[in-house]
Amino acid sequence: MSHKNISQKHESQKHESEASVSNPYWKTKDMADMTAEEWENLCDGCGKCCCIRLEDEETNAVYITDVSCKLLDGQTCRCTDYVDRKKTVPDCVTLTPDNISSLQWMPQTCAYRLVAEGKALPDYHHLVSGSKETIHERGMSVMNAVTSEILVSEAEQARRIVIWPGEPDLDV
């Protein structure tokens, strides 16, 4: 291989690298074409989707609470049994490119929802900021602000409706 070819190869790799920074995969790929790793990496780790939601039977309005799924670790905002979560929590929803657009109860700040709607990821998202801690530092997660459903009666849940940062105000 000649020196010229090596230089050309290096220059090509440099341009590919620059393109991936200016055109990240979540902006250039269809969600259905993302690898499993890319899909999972979209999650910002806020934990909002793991909070119990209540639906008003008369209006069908959905309200979010500060009561979390029993598998959510409220100090890390991570599922304690992510791989096998459906065994313990059968109604846990697995997000997919096929269902994300129809899940209107997902947080408005959810990266999956934002990408599906063609919107930009916020500056606190780890794929933008470079740190998975930024979301917690900015107060955009439920870290240290939720109580496990194991500790809260079903009757008490309705008194625990909250509005998380970045979410719209509710008429409660």
pLDDT digits (tens, 9 = 90+) for 101-128: 999 889 999 999 999 999 999 999 999 9
Residue 131 lies in a domain: yes
Label residue 18 by pLDDT band (50, 70, 90): very low
Closest to 139 (Cα-Cα) out of 159, 167, 158, 160: 167
Residue 9 lies in a domain: no
Q: Are 132 and 45 in contact (CB under 8 A)?
A: yes
User: pLDDT, tens digit, for every residue of 134-153?
Assistant: 999 999 999 999 999 999 99
3-state secondary structure at position 23: coil
pLDDT given for residue 169 in this prediction: 64
Label residue 133 by pLDDT band (50, 70, 90): very high
Q: Are 65 and 53 in contact (CB under 8 A)?
A: yes
- Strand positions, DSSP E, 56-154: 62-68, 72-73, 78-79, 147-148
pTM: 0.82
Residue 78 lies in a domain: yes
Domain hosting residue 38, numbered range:
34-160
pLDDT > 70 fraction of the chain, expressed in percent and rounded:
85
12, pLDDT greater than 60: no
Residue 109 lies in a domain: yes
Mean pLDDT value across residues 32-61: 95
Among 22-26, 38-42, 43-47, 127-131, the least confident range: 22-26
User: pLDDT, tens digit, for every residue of 87-103?
Assistant: 999 999 999 999 999 99
Residue 13 lies in a domain: no
Residues 73 and 148: their CA atoms lie apart, in Å, by 8
Residue 82 lies in a domain: yes
Q: How many domains does the chain have?
A: 1
Residue 85 lies in a domain: yes
Q: Are 134 and 124 in contact (CB under 8 A)?
A: yes
Residue 5 lies in a domain: no
